Amino acid sequence: MKPSIEHIRELNPIEKIAGEYTKLKAMGEVLRGKCPLPAHQETEPSFTVYPDSQSFYCFGCRRGGDVFNLVMYREGFDFLEAVRFLAAKANIPDEELSEELIALVKESRAIEDALTLAVEYYRQLLIAEETSAVVEVGEELHTEGTVQL
């Protein structure tokens, strides 16, 4: 069986990958640390990792997503490069990434982009008052925006 995107995601828990980029501290259900993303220098940790939904969100630079998005932001990769990078980390050789997977990767990226735009749209609407309720809504939207393959 060829490795699917979901399989690659499972082999790369976001808390592990994020933990390689920044020092994370457990705070209840989530992990917090200083944002490791480019163009965001901070002193207060606002980078938050959600192991339950395998996602992250930075309250400072307002970037978030799943483990693929994390390496895309951090390494400047496109989605396919991120998949390859994480596959390599999970010891899945590049040649095992089938043509179908590569086609799928491109397709799902397009879907995900559309969903990310939708999430961002709602986030912008809600940005004015940053209550905890607003944050929850944003996270729900984000979770729904994650494409399951």
State the residues that interact with Zn ion by CB under 5 A.
35, 37, 40, 58, 60-61
- Residue 61 or residue 149: which is nearer to Zn ion going by CB? 61
- Residue 3 or residue 57: which is nearer to Zn ion going by CB? 57
Dihedral angle sign, alpha carbons of residues 31, 25, 75, 1: negative
Q: What residues form DSSP beta bridges with 50?
A: 55
Which DSSP letter does residue 96 get? G
Provide the residue type at 134 as one letter.
V
Dihedral angle sign, alpha carbons of residues 81, 82, 83, 87: positive
- Which region holds residue 35: left if phi is over 0, alpha if psi is between -120 and 50, else beta? beta
Nearest-approach distance from CB 59 to Zn ion, in angstroms: 8
Neighbours of 86 (CB within 10 A): 21
- Residue 73 or residue 85: which is nearer to Zn ion going by CB? 73
- Residue 3 or residue 33: which is nearer to Zn ion going by CB? 33
Nearest-approach distance from CB 79 to Zn ion, in angstroms: 20
Nearest-approach distance from CB 120 to Zn ion, in angstroms: 15
Nearest-approach distance from CB 141 to Zn ion, in angstroms: 19
